[in-house]
Amino acid sequence: MKKLLIINTGGTFSSVESERGLKPGLSSGELLEAMRLVAGGIELEMEDLFLVDSANIFPDDWRRLAERIQEAAAGYQGIVVIHGTDTMAYTASMLSFMLQNVPIPVVLTGSQLSISHPVADAMENCRCAVHMAAGGHGGVFLAFNRKVMLGVRASKVRTMSFDAFESINYPDVAQISSLGLRIHTGYLPEIKGDFRLCTEYSDQVFVLKMYPGIRPELLSMLEEHGYRGVYIEAFGLGGLPFLKNDFLAAVERSVKRGMTVLVGSQCRYEGSSLSVYETGLRALNSGVLQAYDMTAEAAVTKLMWVLGQTDDRHKIEEYFSENLVQEVRIPV
């Protein structure tokens, strides 16, 4: 009989009503009986790691969760993580980098309604996550609304619908239909070596969304406050302005002073291509790195993770020239 570990971190899935609104309140003991209803012949064990709204998840929680998964990996055939939806894609992305070559399935899931609600999506999401976790395919995944996505490709795209998550610029790796759970093995992450826990990260990272009229002195302000990296959500294919308020000149100065600047697109689909327009080519010449078709969550967490591994400029460039965990397609 396969044995899975369910790690509960809180979120809507385990929430209860309070005078101040919904908050995590159901313990693993209260949840386990309900979850066994969807497990079939799979043995489940469950524990509480922390019980918080996912808006209160911080990078040190990612480290703690990754360490617990590494500790448990040898004793279980798969692990399910119950997590709030608001930051679940960030957690799934960072775990993808921290759990290098994880040999068992690690599947994050949550819900838009608490498991205690009579019409909740919680049980169906749990069913999908449990059976994906029992499927034997190593990697970090996110299960929601009868589909399974690579954790590093998932993004929350709707606030109220049950179909809250999508796989961005990458196919779903599995779906549940009348044919059961169908896993598309060709889309699964490649296990390239031994399982390694790599939990070092930098939280000195900023996200900057471009808008017409943005002032270039923002970058020097970030440097003054100790930020080591910035992810810029640029216009279209990756355009940055260089007329009037010369933002590109500020970018070049920041890069020369040691800031890592990663540039992607504000558009959710299809990604950046800085080599098409003059605005993008100027950015490349200024020394920025390109996010290509990464999700915003993957771009931010990869930047945090890479800066935790090294401060050497050439090694940082090497990390961003590689597809580490299927987080990016880099044109050849």
Active centre residues (catalytic): 12, 85-86, 156, 277
User: Do 2 and 43 contact (CB within 8 A), yes or no?
Assistant: yes
User: Do 107 and 78 contact (CB within 8 A), yes or no?
Assistant: yes
User: Do 107 and 129 contact (CB within 8 A), yes or no?
Assistant: yes
User: Do 150 and 140 contact (CB within 8 A), yes or no?
Assistant: yes
Report the alpha-carbon angle 295-299-305, nearest 5: 140
C-alpha count within 13 angstroms, C-beta hemisphere, residue 260? 31
Helices (H), the chain: 28-36, 59-72, 88-98, 122-133, 217-224, 247-256, 278-286, 296-309, 313-320
Tokens of 182: 């169908």
Give which of 152, 136, 142, 139 is closest to 192, Cα–Cα: 139
Cα gap 24→162, rounded to integer Å: 19
- Under DSSP, is residue 148 helix (H, G, I), strand (E, B) or coil? strand
Cα gap 189→34, rounded to integer Å: 31
Cα gap 301→264, rounded to integer Å: 14
